[in-house]
Structure 1
Amino acid sequence: MRKLILGAVLASASLFALTAQAESLAPADIKVGKQYVELPTHVPVAQPGKIEVVELFWYGCPHCYQFEPSINAWADKLPEDVSFRRVPALFGGLWNVHGQLFITLESMNVEPKVHAAIFEAIHKDGKKLATPEEMAEFLAAQGVDKEAFLKAYGSFNVKAQMEKAKKLAIAYQISGVPVMIVNGKYRFDLGSAGGPQNTLQVADYLIDQERTAQ
């Protein structure tokens, strides 16, 4: 398991290796096998009838944290026919702990500002948020009821969603984060696309491609 986690961290770190000199992409420059890959087996989407975009992430990933402002601004402007959702990557250890935190808060319908506060706490304040009790104390300051959180954290529903997230990561064949998936068909990341803004350009290109195909 330690090797798996280390491998995921290294894969995540490598995503930014090509971003220093990244140039903006023109639609004609975006090619399968270059900026993105098509999954050998297409994965069913959560909301049939909409074009789905998934971001797989980890609260502890510095590149996910750096990507947040860009992807949030992009997601806020998506048209009605596009569905965006986040799925935590579960590579064991703290990845799973933080993934369970995210899924719990999602089940409680907390406001996006809580999600942002967790990223800030980990990356700016050095908090680990490694136990349910530590999470509950921190979340109480964000307006989340401690007892309700702890009850939800250990619930059957959250555990079931954890299993679904694990299966999705396997189906998407991911090895690091942040990674994006469009319509259960196409996978790409910041390294393959050439940086945060190019990643979102690839997402827009594939969304348009899927819309045309419908």
Structure 2
Amino acid sequence: MRNLIFSAVLATASLIGMTATATAAEPIEAGKQYVELSSPVPVSKPGKIEVVELFWYGCPHCYHFEPTINPWVKKLPADVHFIRIPAMFGGVWDAHGQLFVTLESMGVEEKVHASIFDAIQNQGKKLAKPDEMAEFLATQGIDKDEFLKAYNSFGVKSQVEKDKKLAMAYQISGVPTMIVNGKYRFDIGSAGGPEQALQVADQLIAKERAAK
């Protein structure tokens, strides 16, 4: 497990040094800007083109991707379904993943998502333990007892296990990683940068739409 975490961190850290490019005018190619999964993963909403972003609150690249991906998500057409899934490689990754799943289950994830990123990336907070999470979330208007109850609930723990299995099925090794329609995997490095990653996503969405 320790090696897996280390590999994931290395994969994330290497994103800055990669120089592959993909532009809207340049057709993308499997094996270059993206990888086609050998075994497609079922989507959560059949009939929709699903786009998944796998992330970790402790990942600086994920944090810096936020100002680029969030406006893009807001403009997605009705036939595209976007979801975030926390990557969990053990340790604090799992704690942060369970934090995200808990907030989703409470219907407050969108309200505090940016604040959690800021707390971890800019304020030096670890948010690695439930009580610490609850104390911070109380400053964001989230009831501590309700959060802790949800955090330890069967439903949240079951969803955490489902998300772990999805990440394994996607065969990810670092974050942020994107998956289009359970078939295509790519990241900022393979795409050539944050903007290029979304251009890759746009082309793969169009590819799936044309195949319907």
TM-score of the superposed pair, with normalisation by structure 1:
0.96
Q: Distance in 1 between matches of 2:27 and 2:148?
A: 48
Which stretches of structure 1, 4 residues or longer, exceed 2 Å deviation after superposition?
26-29
Q: Distance in 2 between matches of 1:90 and 1:49?
A: 28
Q: Distance in 2 between matches of 1:91 and 1:203?
A: 25
Correspondent of 1:92 among 82, 90, 102: 90
User: What does 1:64-143 align with in structure 2 at a 5 Å threshold?
Assistant: 64-143=62-141
One-letter amino acid of the structure 2 residue matched with residue 89 of structure 1 = A
Q: Distance in 2 between matches of 1:93 and 1:111?
A: 21
Kindly indicate whether the alpha-carbon contact (under 8 Å) linking 1:70 and 1:196 is maintained by their aligned counterparts in 2: yes
Q: Distance in 1 between matches of 2:36 and 2:14?
A: 20
- The 1:26–1:195 alpha-carbon spacing in structure 2 relative to 1, beyond 3 Å, is same
Partner of 2:38: helix, strand, or coil?
coil
Cα deviation code 1:3-53 (max 9, x no counterpart)? 21111101111122125xx75613443111110010000000000110000
Partner of 1:149: helix, strand, or coil?
helix
Kindly indicate whether the alpha-carbon contact (under 8 Å) linking 1:27 and 1:205 is maintained by their aligned counterparts in 2: no
Farther-moved stretch of structure 1 (140-149 vs 28-37): 28-37
TM-score of the superposed pair, with normalisation by structure 2:
0.97
Q: Distance in 2 between matches of 1:203 and 1:67?
A: 14
| Distance apart, 1:174 and its partner CA | 0.3
Q: Distance in 2 between matches of 1:111 and 1:85?
A: 12
Farther-moved stretch of structure 1 (111-120 vs 162-171): 111-120
One-letter amino acid of the structure 2 residue matched with residue 6 of structure 1 = F
Which residue pairs with 1:12 in the alignment? 12
| Distance apart, 1:99 and its partner CA | 0.2
Q: Distance in 1 between matches of 2:72 and 2:191?
A: 16
Partner of 1:87: helix, strand, or coil?
strand
Which residue pairs with 1:177 in the alignment? 175
Which residue pairs with 1:204 in the alignment? 202
Structure 1 unmatched runs, 5+: none
Q: Distance in 2 between matches of 1:131 and 1:160?
A: 19
Partner of 2:134: helix, strand, or coil?
helix
Q: CA RMSD in A?
A: 1.2
Correspondent of 2:53 among 45, 52, 55: 55
Q: Distance in 2 between matches of 1:28 and 1:67?
A: 22
Identical columns (%): 70
Q: Distance in 2 between matches of 1:187 and 1:40?
A: 11
Aligned length: 212
Which residue pairs with 2:184 in the alignment? 186
Q: Distance in 1 between matches of 2:25 and 2:31?
A: 15
Q: Distance in 2 between matches of 1:11 and 1:72?
A: 23
Q: Distance in 2 between matches of 1:27 and 1:34?
A: 16
Q: Distance in 2 between matches of 1:77 and 1:83?
A: 11
